[in-house]
Amino acid sequence: MKTTMALVNGLILLGATLIVLDADAASVGSQCGQSGEVVLQVLGSGGPELAGGRASSSYLLWHKGKARLLVDLGPGAMLRFGETGARLDDLELVAISHLHVDHAGDLPALVKVGYFTDRATALPVAGPGAGGMFPGLTEWINGQFRSTAGSYRYLAGALDGSGGQFALRPIEVTPDGEQATTVLKTQGMRIDAIAVPHGAVPALAYRVQIDHRVIVFGGDQNGSSAAFWSFSRDADLLVAHLAVPEDVGGPARTLHATPSRIGDGASQANVGHLLLSHLMTRSEATLDDNLSIVHKRFDGEIALARDLACIAVEPAAPGELP
């Protein structure tokens, strides 16, 4: 097992080298989308805190220079989206893992930004069904934009495409037990979702198959679902959230995966690369320890996310989409 740690263009890498471009806002611009056929760009690598200069959770997936998929849109995501040079017109899906503010709070910003673009086609938005204190995705969107009593009723065009807005098209995913659900299939891209355990919060992970690559976005979860690790099997890249340290206790332990659980799961799932994100003060305070715990269990390549970083995803074994 390799034990080296290197800082490459702002990302800490353990093990061998990922293809990573620099992450400075001023220099990245739209270059990220040009840096490979399939490129993951981190828009927000943090959690709900105001710490570390990180926006809350958000990721952009580029394919052949177009930003096709946005996963999560926590506060700050739209600012970062603008910094990347991505076009809202190119987005084919917004996939929301769950309805905590740090994953979903920038939806009204996206809607308002849309008014100032040429986009006229509806934008599919996927997210979980209702549970516990949380409404389902459709009710959540309607609660913001419906013309009668929505919080942002002045943007009611977000529901029907009127008033210079494009419409949001909710795809509410209520997973069938431990079975995955196909969310969208479009032009060589397939996205499936599966439920993941995040306390009492309905939460999803997404598996994206695109151009012979597989990328899994684990979202917030405690890592205890065997079905999730099967869902992640052989992924070229797994985005895992390192939101807690190993010795975390209390409710946070039911919400988030410890470093050892991330490392064990990624190893068992045989994923190629691991991107650790959703960093918080409590996980960064003992970052070296947490990274080494993951690294002891997972022998693949590990990178630590920071906002606007780009990772070109190469296929481990080119083949046809299933």
Q: Which residues bind Zn ion (CB under 5 A)?
A: 47, 102, 220
Q: How far is the CB of 50 from Zn ion (least distance, A)?
A: 14
Q: Which CB, 40 or 104, lies closer to Zn ion?
A: 104
Q: How far is the CB of 163 from Zn ion (least distance, A)?
A: 32
Q: Are 300 and 266 in contact (CB under 8 A)?
A: yes
Per-residue tokens: 309: 């970083």
Q: Which CB, 102 or 264, lies closer to Zn ion?
A: 102
Question: Which residue is listed with tokens 């080296």?
Answer: 4
Q: Are 47 and 279 in contact (CB under 8 A)?
A: yes
Q: How far is CA 105 from CA 78, 115, 183, 232, 309, in A?
A: 10, 18, 21, 27, 21
CA distance 151 to 223: 35
Q: How far is the CB of 98 from Zn ion (least distance, A)?
A: 8
Q: How far is the CB of 217 from Zn ion (least distance, A)?
A: 12
Q: Which CB, 192 or 220, lies closer to Zn ion?
A: 220
Q: How far is the CB of 310 from Zn ion (least distance, A)?
A: 22
> Dmax over Cα atoms in the chain, in whole Å?
60
Q: Which CB, 38 or 195, lies closer to Zn ion?
A: 195
Question: Which residue is listed with tokens 């056929």?
Answer: 37
Q: Which CB, 159 or 238, lies closer to Zn ion?
A: 238
Sequence-distant (6+) residues with CB within 8 A of 191 are 69, 93, 95, 126, 182, 183, 184, 185, 206, 207, 208, 209
Q: How far is the CB of 134 from Zn ion (least distance, A)?
A: 13
Q: Which CB, 220 or 264, lies closer to Zn ion?
A: 220
- CB count within 10 Å of CB 236 equals 19
Q: How far is the CB of 307 from Zn ion (least distance, A)?
A: 15
Q: Which CB, 103 or 213, lies closer to Zn ion?
A: 103
Closest Cα partner for 83 from 142, 22, 165? 22
